[in-house]
Amino acid sequence: MGPFLITNPPAERFLQYWYYEQDAEEALPPTVYELLNQVMTLESEQIGELSLQGRSFVIIISPLYNLKSVRGAVAVVRDMTEERRLDKLRKDFIANVSHELRTPISMLQGYSEAIVDDVAETPEEKKEIAKIIYDESLRMGRLVNDLLDLARMEAGHVTIRREEVEIIPFIERIVTKFNGVAKEKGISLGVKISEDVNRDSWLQVDGDKLEQVFTNLIDNAIRHTPAHGHVSVTIESLVSSYLFTVSDTGSGIPEEDLPFIFERFYKADKARTRGRSGTGLGLAIAKNIVDAHEGQISVQSKYDHGTKFLVNIPKIK
């Protein structure tokens, strides 16, 4: 136990991390010795931080007095890993939002300046520039709406307005919205309904919100599938839930990216940020909505072969 009189279990854990990390037989990390020295010489409380084995600790050391002089110190160690992780998430989030907004804003500035400066010579060129400005402003609008949705949900204000939704017509209607795009891209798009689902089977769910989930999944599937590929939606009845899947024969998602796919602003293909790209918030929103229905959403994917998203929604409620 070296220089310690008493320690409690969290302190033991901290010391264990330290012993594990070092080669030499030092009783304490150098940061702690430095703090301790300061406490003894300055006779005042000192605060420091250090990380061990990937965890963040805050250490507060206060002097212990023996009538007139300092005779020792008491150190309080707090494991702040979770707080630091949340701080980092928040900072990353702000950085991401700023980045996502900066790109369209600079496009708007650049292209509108071109019009102001009469760079465009023909009416066609002018129109082309105006179209870019229009598309970018739509993109910004989508981003802001998605951000608002997500912020509301993460603040715990997801209001699920449950109504009776007839499953087959519901899914067929959503898929129909994509017939045009799929055809344009040369992708086959279909719905497969298992025999245990009837024409009038229904779920008590928030139809608008679930439509948002499936719209995003099908949009993603079509966007990441090349010509001649297939996208298919299936509906199956399980014992206590309905299982919906959206599969494609597209690019797939690299295995190392799979654990992060439902995080905000996650985009597997970092280079692909322009064009008809989304905001990187769709799956985070989808997960919030499915969670609010007490369901599950998961993904299976093989890079270069295809991807399958599974959505499970409980029957009772």
Select from 216, 225, 234, 301 the one that contacts Mg ion (CB under 5 A): 216
247 binding Mg ion? (CB under 5 A)? no
Q: How far is the CB of 224 from Mg ion (least distance, A)?
A: 9
User: From the CB of 277, what's the least distance to ligand ADP, in Å?
Assistant: 6
The strand pair at 163-166 and 241-248 is best described as unpaired
Residues 218-257, one symbol each (x = binds ligand ADP by CB under 6 A, - = not), give --xx--x-----------------------x-xxxx----
Distance of closest approach, residue 285 Cβ to Mg ion, in angstroms: 9
196: which 2 tokens? 């245990």
What is the DSSP code string of the chain? -TT-S---HHHHHHHHHHHHH-SS--SS-HHHHHHHHHHHHH-S-EEEEEEETTEEEEEEEEEEEETTEEEEEEEEEEE-HHHHHHHHHHHHHHHHHHHHHHHHHHHHHHHHHHHHTT---SHHHHHHHHHHHHHHHHHHHHHHHHHHHHHHHHTT------EEEEHHHHHHHHHHHTHHHHHHHT-EEEEEE-TTS-TT-EEEE-HHHHHHHHHHHHHHHHHT--TT-EEEEEEEE-SSEEEEEEEESS----GGGGGGTTSTT--SSTT--SSS---S-HHHHHHHHHHHTT-EEEEEEETTTEEEEEEEEES--
- Contact map string, positions 45 to 64, toward Mg ion, x by CB under 5 A: --------------------
Tell me how many residues contact ligand ADP (CB under 6 A). Answer: 22
Binding to Mg ion by residue 278, rule CB under 5 A?
yes
Site for ligand ADP contains 278 (CB under 6 A):
yes
Q: Where does this chain touch ligand ADP (CB under 6 A) — which range of 45-53, 60-68, 205-213, 216-224?
A: 216-224
Which class for 58: exposed (0-12), middle (13-18), buried (19 or more C-beta within 10 A)?
middle
- CA–CA distance, 12 with 192 (Å, rounded to integer): 58
CA–CA gap between residue 31 and residue 52 (Å, rounded): 12
Query: 205 vs 284, which CB is nearer to ligand ADP?
Result: 284
Query: Among ligand ADP, Mg ion, none, what does residue 221 contact (CB within 5–8 Å per kind)?
Result: ligand ADP
Closest residue by beta carbon to ligand ADP: 278
Q: Which of 307, 311, 312, 313 binds ligand ADP (CB under 6 A)?
A: 307
Site string for ligand ADP, 88-127 (x = CB under 6 A): ----------------------------------------
Identity of residue 95: A
Q: Which is nearer to ligand ADP, 209 or 224 (CB)?
A: 224
Q: How far is the CB of 233 from ligand ADP (least distance, A)?
A: 12
Q: How far is the CB of 9 from ligand ADP (least distance, A)?
A: 41
Is 212 or 220 the residue whose CB approaches Mg ion more closely? 220
Residue 299 Cβ vs Mg ion, minimum distance, rounded to whole Å? 13
Binding site for Mg ion (CB under 5 A): 216, 220, 278, 282
- Point out which residues bind ligand ADP (CB under 6 A): 216, 220-221, 224, 248, 250-253, 261, 266-269, 277-283, 307
